[in-house]
Amino acid sequence: MRCLFVHNHYLERGGEDESVKAEIQMLRDQGHDVEVHIDTNERIAQIGKLSAGVQSIWSNPTYKAINQRLQSSTFDIVHIQNFFPLVSPAAHYAAKSNGVPVVQSLRNYRLICPNGLLHRNRQVCEQCVDKFIPLPGIQHKCYRNSYLASAVAATTLVTHRVLRTWQRQVDAFITPCEFTRQKFIQAGFPANKLFVKPNFVSFDPGFSELGGDHFLFVGRLAPEKGLEILVEAWSRLDQRLKLKIVGSGPLEEWIRSKACQHKHIEYLGFQPHAITQGLISQAKALIFPSTWYETFGRVVIEAFASGTPVIASDIGGIPEMVRHERNGLLFAPKDSEDLIDKVLCLDASPDNNQKMRRNARDDFERYYTAESNYRILMDIYQKAIASCQTPPIATLEARFGI
């Protein structure tokens, strides 16, 4: 199979980029020919924010580049990962105008929420989910805390709702969990085109039967990740319980100051993947305290790969991964008291901890390896190919001279 992967990198590399990289390598390892069309937000500094805003709605350079690529060679699938902001939905139209099936990964809520998170002012927010015009997203400056930026993001949503882009230009959508799939169905996306495929870990760090003496947070240091709840809980825990924090982001200086105040909190900053995985393997448990509707937690399955249990907030797609008292513990979102209880519970029961470690590793081997993921992805590709209809003669290129 020949596949064209389309992806727009953010400025800060995260789990989404790692997942895209892993999927490309997985397909190549299975003998498929994968080419890539990559854009990056580093280019915004060159073209300016105004031009980037216009391109987020429709990018002529993207359309021409992908159209030329598809006309010069035969592809079986165009798999679009992230298209926001610079790639734009022009990629979908270029693929369909050439009769190539389109698969769109949905790793966030960008197509139904201007900021992509369904989260505002440290609260879950669904005000725009059922609105054709997402005015609340503009009123609350949901994207980059800017009326103008939020208006541009909302305009992208409305434009492609009017054009029925997601109904007509996509043959299959991939969500990382059932919770996210249901949110898109609620927003009016076609249920028969929405398929669940979790992320996976392409490497195997090996089972670490004995965890260390520390708890660990790994992730972007942002409000929606629940860091305030985590620090509040740890400030009230006994100092023998050590917490290590790995990552970078907008709350970095705040985390540094809290680590200075509480000696049993250690901030390690951003760390290379190998070092981070070592910290995960040696942890008594990974803490995953998100307050938004997580679509997936890549670091959770990295913990499972080592047999490290996870203490996580009971929200979004997390409970589909972290099963209470099997491979970890769930606590009520934003409830520091409940988080404290779960930490003390795990710490006080070495036998249960060992049982959860073995279960976590079992779940990794069953659900989150490249082998199991490959079978799911191939099935989705085949469904997309089967549902792909011959494009109309009057393509956008012919109608509008694009």
pLDDT tens per residue, range 206-245? 998 877 889 999 999 999 999 999 999 999 999 999 999 9
pLDDT, tens digit (0-9, with 9 covering 90-100), for 84-142? 999 999 999 999 999 999 999 999 999 999 999 999 998 999 999 989 999 999 999 99
Query: Which H/E stretch holds residue 9?
Result: strand 2-9
Percentage of the chain surpassing pLDDT 70?
Answer: 97
What's the rounded mean pLDDT across residues 275-290? 96
Specify the range with the lowest mean pLDDT, choosing from 6-10, 14-18, 136-140: 14-18
Give me the residues paired with residue 208 across strands. none
- Is the separation of the CB atoms in 220 and 205 below 8 Å? no
Q: Which of 53, 36, 43, 68 is nearest to 397 (CA)?
A: 68
Strand 123-124 relative to strand 119-120, pairing: antiparallel
> What single-letter DSSP state applies at residue 143?
T
pLDDT, tens digit (0-9, with 9 covering 90-100), for 375-389? 999 999 999 999 885
What's the rounded mean pLDDT across residues 352-360? 96
Q: Within 13 A of 51's CA, how many CA atoms are on the CB side?
A: 9
pTM of the model: 0.91
Res. 392 pLDDT band, cuts 50 70 90: very low
- Predicted pLDDT of residue 389: 59
- Predicted pLDDT of residue 360: 98
| Rounded Cα distance, 374 and 3, in Å | 14
pLDDT, tens digit (0-9, with 9 covering 90-100), for 38-54? 999 889 888 998 899 99
> Which residues, at least 6 apart from 191, have a Cβ–Cβ distance to it below 8 Å?
185
Q: Is the pLDDT of residue 394 over 60?
A: no
- DSSP secondary structure letters along 152-203: HHHHHHHHHHHTTHHHHS-SEEEESSHHHHHHHHHTT--GGGEEE----BSS
Q: Is the pLDDT of residue 271 over 80?
A: yes
Residue in the block written with tokens 């299975």:
30
Q: Strand, helix or coil at 269?
A: strand
- Is the separation of the CB atoms in 117 and 111 below 8 Å? no
| Rounded Cα distance, 78 and 84, in Å | 16
Q: Is the pLDDT of residue 8 over 50?
A: yes
- Predicted pLDDT of residue 50: 86
- Is the separation of the CB atoms in 368 and 304 below 8 Å? yes
| Rounded Cα distance, 30 and 359, in Å | 28
Q: Strand, helix or coil at 8?
A: strand
E strands of 41-191, at which residues?
77-80, 102-105, 119-120, 123-124, 172-175
Cα 200 versus chain centre, distance: 12
Chain mean pLDDT for the chain: 93
